[in-house]
Amino acid sequence: MTGRILHFGPGNFHRAHQAIFTQQAGGWTITGVSLKSAETRDALAGQAFDYTLVIRDADGERMERMTVLDDILVAPENPDAVLDTLADGSVQVVTVTVTEKGYHLNANGRLNLSDPEVAADLDTDLPRTLVGYLARGLMRRQIDMAGPISVISCDNLSGNGAKLRTAVMDFAQAAGLGLTLSEATFPDTMVDRITPRAPDDLSDRVAAIDLPYAAPVVTEGFSEWVIADDFAGPRPAWETAGARLVADVAPFEARKLRMLNGAHSMLAYAGLNRGFVHVHEAVADPDLRRRCRALMQAAAGTLQGVGEDELRIYGEALIVRFDNPALQHALAQIAMDGSQKMPVRIGAVLSELAATGGDTGPHVFALAEWCRFVIGQDGTVLDDPMAERLAKAAGEGDPVSALLNVIGIGLPEVEMELVRASLRGTTDQDIKGTAI
């Protein structure tokens, strides 16, 4: 089987994850769509869209030549070309990695119609947002009767496929499009591969061994992809490359979001607040290591459908992955867009723990460290789509309530007070005493 995938967001994560699963499965090519900048297209065009994937873990470093990308469309240069490609019958799979903020969802998981970019897209036939492109492109496809299509979100949202489908339908309805999506499916997925920004010297190292040297990607050895077996038409044989096709992704997704991503965010804020730069340095700090384990353990208590032993082993394997010094994974990279990440990774878990009498300490601590980080920015602009509102909330008399309110985390007053107490703790001893 051969075919063509249209991928929105051909950044490092896509090029380390879905791209290699697709290359190994064989037969399919990927056309990328950059929604904003021409940077990746400009870097890769001179290499016929080949690039080098550098895999670094305890076994050392290995490099792989990637040949699966055939082109990158830069959407703002020619929006029509993107819409036409979505309506092209040769494209039967769409994949998406645009990060959490690229979906423009509100706290209820619906499309935020008052977001300025979404509102602008509702008014024009030539969109700028992912959801605008999908709604208008799939409408063209419906009119052209170009056949079934599977649209696969690969971002860290819970129920990512269902959320994307809802957002596309919300857009179509608000724009008055008669979109039915009767020939489209939106399978949920869990994606996992730690992929930091590539270090500056990586191109030179790659060039030295005569591989494509522009825009190389660095990643870890581990990778996992679990996909709901809900395809509208043909797809690459991803299972031959190690992907798992399952009836229900939810348990895998919750395990990864709550244990890996939750611990990542805690380490990012608490680590930066203590002057660490990289994940492996933060997790080597005995206190943060203990808190990391405690957070994973508490999160594991909220998970259903996965055995206790399996979760303990998974947690220990995560610590080993975080320890990987060769990745040089910057905490600042994880810390960005906290407003989009904290509700999913920490807030939802904390609410469940509070409601069921679980150990809320580690998640209370994570929220307090996020608050401390935001308050500590003081004058510098936060790397977050809600930066302005957060800066204002950080200056209020009760910054904890104000900040959590901005990002839609509502907590019982007892937990709210625990977050305030953890934030007030000026010495490490105080923080320990109140949070764990």
User: How many residues of this chain interact with ligand CS2, rule: CB under 6 A?
Assistant: 10
The one segment of 259-267, 270-278, 285-293, 355-363 that binds ligand CS2 by CB under 6 A: 259-267
DSSP string, 408-426: T----HHHHHHHHHHHH--
CB nearer ligand CS2, residue 97 or residue 142: 97
Residue pair 415/360 in contact by the 8 Å Cβ criterion: yes
Q: How far is the CB of 321 from ligand CS2 (least distance, A)?
A: 9
- Convert residues 301-340 into a mask of x (bound to ligand CS2 by CB under 6 A) and - (unbound): --------------------------------xx------
One DSSP character per residue, 143-171 reads HHT---EEEEE-SS-TTHHHHHHHHHHHH
Residues in 183-202 at the binding interface with ligand CS2, rule: CB under 6 A: 192-194
Which C-beta is closer to ligand CS2: that of 101 or that of 432? 101
| Residue 261 in the binding site for ligand CS2 (CB under 6 A) | yes
Neighbours of 140 (CB within 10 A): 16
CA atoms within 13 A on the CB side of 150: 19
- Facing residues of 53 across strands? 64, 217
CA gyration radius, the chain: 22
Residue nearest to ligand CS2 (CB): 264
The answer to the question of residue 258 lying near ligand CS2 (CB under 6 A) is no
Interacting stretch for ligand CS2, rule CB under 6 A, among 121-129, 246-254, 257-265, 375-383?
A: 257-265
Closest separation in Å from C-beta 86 to ligand CS2: 26
Tokens of 288: 């943060």
Q: Which residue has the tokens 């929220």?
A: 367
Task: In whole angstroms, give the CA distance from residue 230 to residue 227.
Answer: 8
d(C-alpha 323, C-alpha 282), whole Å: 9
Task: Name the minimum Å distance from CB 57 to ligand CS2.
Answer: 14
Binding mask 377-416 for ligand CS2 (x = CB under 6 A): ----------------------------------------
b/e per residue, 300-316, with b = 16+ CB within 10 A? bbbbeeeeeeebeebbe
Burial of 177: CB neighbours in 10 Å, binned 0-12, 13-18, 19+: middle
- Figure out which of the listed residues 341, 351, 370, 416 binds ligand CS2, where binding follows CB under 6 A: 341
Q: Binders of ligand CS2 among 214-243, rule CB under 6 A? A: none
Contact yes or no for 278/187 (Cβ under 8 A): no
Shortest distance in whole angstroms from residue 175 CB to ligand CS2:
31
Strand partners, 329: none
Q: Is 264 in the site for ligand CS2 (CB under 6 A)?
A: yes
Nearest distance from residue 330's CB to ligand CS2, in Å?
9
Give the interface with ligand CS2 as residue ranges (CB under 6 A). 156, 192-194, 260-261, 264, 333-334, 341
